[in-house]
Amino acid sequence: MKLSYVIVTRNRCQALLRTLDLLERNTGLPRHSWEVIVIDNASDDDTVSRVARLADRVRLVRLDENEGIPARNRGLPLMKGKYVVFLDDDSYPMPGAIPAALQYLAKHTKTAGLVARVVLPDGTAEAPAFPAVTIGGATVLRSDIIRSVGGFAPEFFRQAEEYDLSFRLWAKGYKVERFEDIVFGHDKVPGGRSPALVHRMDLRNNLILVERYLPRPLRKIYRHEFIQRYAILATSEGHHDAANAALHDARVWARREAKVGRKTLTDETVEKIFELGSQARAVSAWAKKHAIRTVAIADWSKNIYATWNACRAAGLQIVGVAENSPAFAGKTYRGAPVLRDDDAAYRMLDGVVLSTISPAKVGPRMEALVRRFAVPTLPLWQPRFLAEDPSIPQSKRISA
């Protein structure tokens, strides 16, 4: 069998049924060559009864408790496909995505996961903060490799679980690649998420990643970076207690990681994910080309430290961080004041460096920066298209 879909759901029956119908229409493979496994996370609506009627084309696994995202692991021993997509109950491939992804993976055996562009109902996109990370609901993965790295870590009930998985894939010598012309949809059906819990898990889980995977010098840096950023975001929405709870949780996990043994990534692997060296080279070459001396960094993104480090390595003066989110208003980043775009544009600048490397955000943010700033502007991420891959015969390439 070529492909398995594993879908974790809880109390979103209508969204799930729509997704199941879309898989029938959009998968683009003979029906006998793919399967669907639905993991029900203890729903108390009519999900189980409705899905049970589809037994001829859906395998249902009922759980007595809500296991969160790690419930995906329930599908590992059951799935028969050479490849697997762990879908959300409201995400699905667009026509052509699956055949193109499988064709690429068949030719590139060191690629463990192929990440798609995710389009929302309003036409905007969503993506991880780092391009080297998978995204739940829109990544085609090799089943044997996912099993070999152990699936999803149970401590990541929600938030950052894809980072943990991706770090392990890169550490094993595999790649996670992304193409903008492999497209999935995500309906973003409202669920029962608690904002306080999301903020708590964001901070807690990112700090677990720091303690588990980063070498000592970067561990100290990113511990500070993530505490500052995620605490600001939490407290700006009134979730100060959630941030404090996250810090308590993270301290417990830090002691645990030190005791049981860290899974420290090599410098080479860290570079592939965090791109500290490549971003420094890009900024240096850009600054030299345009005779840049003073810059603003655009956006207090998850990648901002790499951008700040690159600008400092190039000898640039950072006059501020151009950031329009009210959460960061009045703050400073490593001594640089946070300014709205309109205020930053009046500073004496030679250029702007966009710190955001989330593939969903670079394009729209660059358009806004180019309109507002009359100086050279540098993005640190560029899109890739499968239609441009030389290993795919011209006659079989998909349209970009």
Q: Give the 3-state secondary structure of 70-87.
A: HHHHHHCCCCCCCEEEEE
Residue 379 main-chain phi, psi, to 5 deg: -85, 150
Determine, yes or no, domain membership for 120. Answer: yes
116 and 12, same structural domain? yes
* One domain, residues 172 and 266: no
How far is Cα 270 from Cα 276, in angstroms, rounded to an integer? 8
What single letter denotes the amino acid at residue 45? D
Token pair recorded at residue 90: 């409201």
Distance CA 117, CA 84 (A): 17
Same domain, 127 and 60: yes
Question: Does any domain span residue 165?
Answer: yes
* 18 belongs to a structural domain: yes
- 209 falls within a domain: yes
Residue 27's pLDDT is 97
pTM of the model: 0.92
3-state helix, strand and coil shares in percent for the chain, rounded to the nearest 5: 45, 20, 35
- Which residues of the chain carry a pLDDT beneath 70? 191-193, 390-400
Domain-located, residue 137:
yes
- How big is the chain by its Cα radius of gyration, in Å? 22
Same domain, 296 and 225: no
Kindly state whether residue 287 falls inside one of the protein's structural domains: yes
Instruction: Look up tokens 């151009």; give the residue.
Output: 322
Q: Find, among 289, 178, 213, 201, the residue nearest to 249 by Cα.
A: 201
Question: What is the tens place of the pLDDT at every residue in 268-317?
Answer: 999 999 999 999 999 999 999 999 999 999 999 999 999 999 999 999 99
Number of domains in the chain: 3
Burial class (CB in 10 A: 0-12, 13-18, 19+), 393: exposed
Of 140, 163, 186, which residue sits at a domain end? 186
Where does a domain end: 270, 295, 329? Answer: 270
For residue 319, which phi and psi values (nearest 5 degrees)? Answer: -90, -10
Same domain, 264 and 291: no
Is residue 307 in a domain? yes
Boundaries of domain holding 65: 3-186
Same-domain check for residues 39 and 107: yes
Could you give phi then psi for residue 375, rounded to 5 degrees? -140, 165
Q: Please give the Cα distance from 41 to 259 (Å, whole number).
A: 32
- Residue 280, classed as helix, strand or coil, is helix
Cα dihedral 89/90/95/97 (nearest 10):
-70
Same domain, 228 and 137: no
Residue 40 lies in a domain: yes
Closest CA to 392 of 117, 107, 169: 107
301, two tokens: 């993104």
Q: Is residue 180 located within the same domain as residue 329?
A: no
Return the structure tokens found at 69. 């995202």
221 and 291 share one domain: no
Tell which of 186, 207, 231 closes a domain. Answer: 186
> In the prediction, which pLDDT does 399 show?
45
181 with 215, same domain? no
Same domain for 199 and 176, yes or no, is: no
182, 206: one domain? no
- Residue in the block written with tokens 């329930």: 74
CATH of the domain at 334: 3.40.50.720
* Closest residue by Cα to residue 161 from 371, 169, 100: 169
> What pLDDT sits at residue 55?
87
In 3-state terms, what secondary structure has residue 123?
Answer: coil
| CATH code of 120's domain | 3.90.550.10
